[in-house]
């Protein structure tokens, strides 16, 4: 079995694993881990398989593919949802919707619950309820020594702390239990599409959504080519967890700009997490670069980025499926949680985004990835200039948008690193789990 685009950013190679196991229960994961260590074999864990940096595959090693452990159960009394480590958010969304509940999950529903959760987890409900990890109640973890343990606020508390923001480093999580919330009513959401001349005005409306925040409101902006091939387009996914009347009022500034596409409507919450799926399918070759900005986003800078990006992707038809994605999230609930409460280090006002190049020609790997790094560097320079008073203690990088080896990622764990080393030494002293932003055991 070969996983597409599983090479690392720097080597540009596809990796062919030696063995793939598909366990159906935690004890089988334990056996696989012990066998790999006894035979000095590298281990990778595959949940949803969304990694573009090789973290869910291993060159000649063992891949523990959790896709057969994808069950989801709902407790309507406690309002909790428990998902196995191989589940995707599609299963979670649909199981919750059947009971009038929703959990804070990803914005692409075929994303695995494991990867998104262990790195923090932003979703459309984050403005109201915080990150996915802020709503994680417990996890069942298979450790490197084969033990199967529960991590929660009352059991293995140090492991539970580390899982929430640096969880790739400590074991294989075979199930997650989340707090869920009533979501019986549909939400106001859909796509808005604009011609390039509206860019500055669209940025103004997006900036205003953060300047006048509402925890129920969110948006994502895409710089991309129109699906019908007609040329460059600015797309916005709008979200409001409320009535049609309120939603129309909240997005009045956007609809006044006369979008050429407007699908805003009352739809089930579970459907919102499918809107971005066409932009995030499996396969092909990819560069996935996290970008971060301090709001308000300068429309002139956005124009420069948009123009440069369009020159790039229109120069090669093979890049037609590429996009720059910008998120506009009310961060207040996320920032309420003390930095020391979880391992997640980037609780701040900075907004997240992605430079996402996609192509098929392997001979263009170096060229396209180099361009993506250059684009990422421009965003970093803009952010550095915007950070007031030289505040270098903040960590703007969202770990799930930061590929291992990125030069931009210099301090992914911030002030939590010393405590994380202690947790790493206790639960994984031999560094079995090292694929995604590994924690060194030496100080």
The CATH number assigned to the domain holding 319 equals 3.40.462.20
Residues 274 and 341 in one domain: yes
Judge contact between 424 and 169, C-beta under 8 A. yes
CATH number at residue 24: 3.30.43.10
Length of the chain counted residue by residue? 443
**What is the model's pLDDT at position 150?**
98
Residues 58 and 106 in one domain: no
Under 8 Å CB-to-CB from 251, ≥6 apart: which residues? 188, 192, 238, 240, 264
Instruction: Let me know if 298 is exposed, middle or buried by CB neighbors in 10 A (0-12, 13-18, 19+).
Output: middle
**What is the model's pLDDT at position 1?**
28
Q: Domain of 48? A: 19-66
Residues 168 and 215 in one domain: no
Residues 121 and 150 in one domain: yes
Residues 257 and 304 in one domain: yes
Tell me how far apart the alpha carbons of residues 262 and 168 are, in angstroms, rounded to a whole number.
39
**Phi-psi region for residue 28, left (φ > 0), alpha (ψ -120 to 50) or beta?**
alpha
Residues 162 and 198 in one domain: no
Is residue 122 in a domain? yes
Residues 246 and 302 in one domain: yes
Tell me how far apart the alpha carbons of residues 31 and 2 are, in angstroms, rounded to a whole number.
23
**Residue 326 in 3-state DSSP?**
strand
Residues 72 and 196 in one domain: no
Is residue 7 in a domain? no
Is residue 374 in a domain? yes
Tell me how far apart the alpha carbons of residues 105 and 97 are, in angstroms, rounded to a whole number.
13
Q: Per the structure block, which two tokens stand in for 412?
A: 């992914």
**Residue 19 in 3-state DSSP?**
strand
Is residue 433 in a domain? no
Is residue 35 in a domain? yes
Under 8 Å CB-to-CB from 58, ≥6 apart: which residues? 15, 17, 18, 42, 43, 44
Residue 84: strand pairing partners:
175
Q: Per the structure block, which two tokens stand in for 290?
A: 């996290």
Residues 270 and 388 in one domain: yes
Each residue's pLDDT tens digit in the chain (443 positions)? 223 333 334 333 455 778 999 999 999 999 999 999 999 999 999 998 777 666 788 888 999 999 999 999 999 999 999 999 999 999 999 999 999 999 999 898 989 999 999 999 999 999 999 999 999 999 999 999 999 999 999 999 999 999 999 999 999 999 999 999 999 999 999 999 999 999 999 999 999 999 999 999 999 999 999 988 889 999 999 999 999 999 999 999 999 999 999 999 999 999 999 998 877 777 889 998 999 999 999 999 999 999 999 999 999 999 999 999 999 999 999 999 999 999 999 999 999 999 999 999 999 999 999 999 999 999 999 998 888 655 555 687 888 888 766 655 567 899 999 999 999 999 999 999 998 889 988 76
Is residue 434 in a domain? no
Q: Per the structure block, which two tokens stand in for 281?
A: 């399918």
Q: Per the structure block, which two tokens stand in for 434?
A: 């090292």
8-state DSSP, 227: T
CATH number at residue 73: 3.30.465.10
- Cα–Cα distance list, 243 to 90, 249, 250 (Å): 24, 10, 10
φ, ψ for residue 254, nearest 5 deg: -80, -45
Residues 204 and 277 in one domain: yes
Domain count along the chain:
3
Is residue 438 in a domain? no
Residues 51 and 79 in one domain: no
Residues 237 and 252 in one domain: yes
């Amino acid at each position: 079995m070969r996983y597409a685009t599983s090479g690392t950013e720097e080597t540009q190679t596809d990796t062919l694993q030696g063995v793939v196991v598909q366990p159906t229960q935690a004890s089988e994961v334990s056996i696989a881990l012990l066998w790999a260590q006894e035979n000095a074999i590298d281990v990778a864990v595959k949940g949803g398989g969304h990694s573009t940096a090789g973290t869910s595959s291993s060159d000649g090693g063992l891949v523990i593919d959790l896709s057969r452990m994808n069950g989801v159960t709902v407790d309507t009394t406690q309002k909790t949802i428990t998902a196995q480590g191989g589940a995707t958010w599609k299963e979670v969304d649909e199981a919750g919707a059947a009971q009038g509940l929703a959990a804070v999950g990803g914005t692409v529903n075929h994303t695995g619950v494991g990867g998104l959760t262990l790195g923090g987890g932003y979703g459309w409900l984050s403005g109201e309820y915080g990150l996915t990890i802020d709503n994680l109640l417990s996890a069942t973890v298979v450790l490197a020594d084969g033990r199967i343990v529960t991590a929660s606020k009352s059991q293995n508390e140090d492991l539970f702390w580390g899982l929430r923001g640096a969880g790739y480093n400590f074991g294989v999580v075979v199930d997650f239990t989340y707090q869920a919330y009533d979501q019986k009513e549909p939400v106001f959401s859909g796509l808005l599409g604009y011609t390039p001349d509206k860019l500055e005005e669209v940025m103004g409306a997006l900036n205003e959504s953060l300047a006048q925040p509402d925890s129920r409101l969110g948006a994502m902006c895409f710089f991309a080519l129109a699906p019908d091939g007609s040329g460059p387009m600015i797309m916005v996914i709008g979200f409001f967890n409320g009535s049609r009347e309120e939603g129309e009022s909240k997005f009045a500034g956007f609809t006044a700009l006369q979008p050429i596409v407007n699908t805003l409507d009352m739809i089930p919450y579970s459907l919102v997490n499918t809107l971005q799926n066409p932009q995030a399918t499996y396969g092909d070759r990819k560069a996935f670069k996290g970008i971060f900005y301090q709001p308000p986003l300068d429309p002139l800078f956005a124009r420069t980025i948009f123009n440069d990006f369009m020159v790039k992707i229109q120069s090669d038809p093979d890049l037609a499926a590429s996009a720059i994605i910008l998120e506009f999230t009310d961060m207040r609930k996320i920032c309420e949680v003390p930095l020391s409460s979880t391992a997640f280090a980037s609780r701040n006002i900075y907004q997240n985004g992605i430079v996402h190049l996609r192509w098929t020609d392997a001979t263009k790997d170096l060229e396209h990835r180099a361009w993506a790094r250059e684009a990422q560097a421009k965003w970093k320079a803009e952010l550095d200039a915007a950070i007031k008073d030289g505040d270098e203690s903040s960590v703007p990088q969202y770990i799930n948008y930061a590929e291992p080896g990125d030069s931009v990622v210099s301090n992914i764990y911030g002030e939590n690193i010393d405590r994380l080393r202690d947790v790493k030494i206790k639960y994984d002293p031999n560094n079995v789990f090292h694929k995604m932003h590994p924690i060194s055991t030496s100080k």
